Amino acid sequence: MDNEAKITLGLLNMVHDNAQASQRSMADDLGIALGLANAYLKRCVKKGLIKISQAPANRYAYYLTPQGFSEKGRLTAEFLSQSLNLFRHARTQSATLFDQCQQNNWQRIVFFGASDLNEIFTLSARDYDVELLAVITHTPGVDEYAGLPATSDPTAIKDVDAVIICDITDPQGAFEEASHHYPQERILAPKFLGVVKNMSMSPDADEVVSS
């Protein structure tokens, strides 16, 4: 990932996490000059990735547009395609997800989406009292993935306690599809995928699906 893409992803992540963040705080967090942060923000606005609203005390609030969420997902997938980044993030957050499953007594789990995450999560699951049932994927001709049965039909898997999103190319799309088959409160995703339950632009409605 080149430096321009890293800065853009950093800005999109900061706007997603805190709509009230100032340009100076964004610049400081990214380690770049204030003028450069301003230029990147203007570029994101021009591309339709970020919208700006007036906030109290003559300040501004920044929100991701649906295109911004999509671009953030694409850049995150590009970043995570570097195996070391993927393993480090996934190994840490898989423990968080399985801890949540164990606390809720959710034992029968399916993975939604096929990627390198499945392999890492399968390894982590060995430390927990959970049963991995299957991988739900639309990849043609695949009937097994990461040592688990694979199917494109979510209704074929019975008595599912929880779903973990493993799609790194379109995690939001995977979440939306999974929501048609499972209760949203039972659908989990590692935080770094940036999946949200509500795509509304209201800042109070952007609820990240993670622990």
Residue 102, CA atoms < 13 Å, CB-side half-sphere: 13
Category of 48 on φ-ψ map: left (φ > 0), alpha (ψ -120 to 50) or beta? left
Measured between alpha carbons, how far is 143 from 53 in angstroms, rounded to an integer? 48
Q: What are the E-state strand segments in 97-188?
A: 108-112, 131-136, 144-145, 148-151, 162-165, 187-188
Please state the rounded mean pLDDT for residues 127-146. 91
pLDDT band (50, 70, 90) for residue 211: very low
Output the pTM of the full model. 0.65
Is the pLDDT at 135 greater than 90? The verdict is yes
User: pLDDT tens-digit profile of 89-133?
Assistant: 788 889 999 999 999 999 999 999 998 889 889 999 999 999 999
Sequential DSSP letters for 10-45: HHHHHHHH-TT--HHHHHHHHTS-HHHHHHHHHHHH
Which of the residue ranges 15-29, 68-82, 145-159 has the most confident prediction, judged by mean pLDDT?
Answer: 145-159
